[in-house]
Chains A and B, each alone.
Chain A
Amino acid sequence: MGGRAVTRREATPASIPAVRKGDALDVSELPSYGFAHRSLMWWGNAGMMTIEGVAFGFMVVIYFYLRDIARVWPDAGRAPDLLFGTVNLAVILGSAWPNYRAQKAAQDRSLSRVRLWLYVCSAFGIALCAVRWFEFTALNVRWDDGAYGSVVWVLMGLHSFNLVTDVLDTFVLTAVTYSKPVEGKRFVDIAENCGYWYFVVLTWLPIYAVVYFGARV
């Protein structure tokens, strides 16, 4: 099996500027960074999102597990008020737009546009954190009131942790655009941070549904 002769293939297609020179493959003309799945950062980010996604997913499973064994749900407190959660949903969905623009700008390596949109993203981030604060005040249950309170607080806590770290990331990336020289790799980082923001937005949809409607439906 392993012993059969292996058909040799040309190691590079024409589109990629790695050229054969004698018995060597010259890669000096290759780009030193790439966007999306060409960059290692994208893979690291994907790993990160998988890890957190698994944690979120199981937290939601735990929610329904506990709901399933409960006689009444919520077993203490009331379902959270809808106002701030829904405001958050609107703002977070809205934040996808500047995020998209920032990602595009990073991919175009346009420093000024990157800065502009990162500022907008940061503003959205601050707004989201503020709304999140009010959300916690309107949960209508304490974490030690019962299993329902515990699971709601931890779900919200996990997402808030993500939210805050990514907002801080955005601040840092904005600041870093002022540290010269700006390597191309930094645009990749910004683009990937924007990719991660989509994850924060997308995870909010199921968590919003569970936290705000799990105790109503």
Chain B
Amino acid sequence: MSSRCRDRALVLAVAGVAGALTAACEREARDFLPPRPGAQVAPAASAPASAAAIALAAAMVGRYEHNAYAISAGKRLFAWYNCSGCHANGGGGSGPALMDDVWIYGGDAGTVYLTIANGRPNGMPAFAGRIPEDQLWQLAAYVRSLAGLASADAAPNRDDAFLTRTPESFADPAKPETVKPAVATGRPQ
């Protein structure tokens, strides 16, 4: 092995190990104290989120998608805040399905955040102000994991409950597409 080749192998090895370390740390961190403290006391639901807030949210959701703790917290909140009431475990009911690759408003992190934070016409309530900002990010990360858009290592496995769908970690990360909502139902046509 030539020395240059060896150097390259060494660099690759170091990079590989470093990559594995970062990935592991991103995946496993349990950040109990979120970067931004929490819900504003004054409800902000009426005011649309600022561009800065969306940018921050997109970045944070992007981070949380690789973090098992954040996604599992999002999953817990999805049940606690009764998201299943309309979205039925992601399969869709009176609200649209979240497990497929069809997005009415777009499946990117910022848009999903915005949908949860500000609500949408035809029934999606706004959660900004009602729940801490951090939980909005967690929910957004979880919702994306339902469609296989979050990191598969960090996505939840099956629940200790009745089997209602394949686990998020199995979700197929098909390319999301945006479909305009039909006015009447809020569901894609």
Contact = CB atoms under 8 A, between A and B. Distances in A.
Contacts of B163: 144-146
Size band of the A side of the interface?
under 10
A144 B158 CA distance: 10
Contacts, number: 5
A118 B166 CA distance: 44
Nearest to A145: B163
Interface string A141-158: 000111000000000000
Contacts of B166: 144
A145 B166 CA distance: 10
Nearest to A142: B163
A3 B163 CA distance: 69
Interface in B156-175: 158, 163, 166
Interface string B137-172: 000000000000000000000100001001000000
A194 to B, nearest CB: 42
Interface in B123-148: none
A77 to B, nearest CB: 12
Nearest to A146: B163
Contacts of A145: 163
Nearest to A144: B163
Nearest to B166: A144
Interface string A109-144: 000000000000000000000000000000000001
A145 B158 CA distance: 12
Contacts of A144: 158, 163, 166
Nearest to B158: A144
Interface string A39-64: 00000000000000000000000000
Nearest to B163: A144
B168 to A, nearest CB: 14
Interface in B98-146: none
A70 to B, nearest CB: 14
The 5 A-B residue pairs with the shortest CB-CB distance, nearest first, are A144-B163, A144-B158, A145-B163, A146-B163, A144-B166
Interface of A: 144-146
5 contacts: A144-B158, A144-B163, A144-B166, A145-B163, A146-B163
